[in-house]
Amino acid sequence: MRLFSRWLDKMTLTLQFVPYHELIDLEPEKRINRLLDIVKKDKVVLMQGRLKASEEAWLIQKTMENVSKTFKGIELCTIYPEAKNDKLWNNLRNLLVKFLMGTREGLTIIGPATIIKEIKRNPDKIELLTTIR
């Protein structure tokens, strides 16, 4: 039973939700460092909202600087909600929501490359393929 318990502990996948309000007031460097610190603990980050393009580039750069024997890098995926209705009223409403919500809209997934093999985006689901260590 103990052997099974140890094996099960190694198979545990930890998801950490990071709400938008925890990151909005941080400087970009601190925001990136906070996300990277979580991922380095072998946790998958589910972040409300998305990073700016420059912040994503900075995250990738910081990741490359931190690659080691124990930290192999990250997998990153951002999902944006899509409007499926072409009516004028719905388009205006969606533009207003984008204006008010800004980068809060969407979901960002960041995880260690040693755990996440691939992230697939489909119109109605997300597939997070993991590897067993």
Instruction: Scan for tokens 């040693």, then name that residue.
Output: 114
Question: What domain count does the chain have?
Answer: 1
Structural domain range at position 32:
2-130
Cα gap 66→74, rounded to integer Å = 11
Q: Considering the entire predicted model, what is its pTM?
A: 0.75
Q: State the DSSP H helix or E strand holding residue 94, giving kind and residue range, or none if neither.
A: helix 88-101
Cα gap 38→35, rounded to integer Å = 5
Query: Following CA atoms 22, 26, 32, 34 in sequence, which dihedral angle do they give, to the nearest 10 degrees?
Result: -50
Q: pLDDT 10s per residue in the chain (133 long)?
A: 555 555 555 667 889 999 988 988 999 999 999 999 999 999 999 999 888 889 999 999 999 999 999 899 999 988 876 656 667 766 676 666 666 555 567 889 999 998 888 888 876 677 888 876 5
Closest CA to 39 of 22, 16, 9: 16
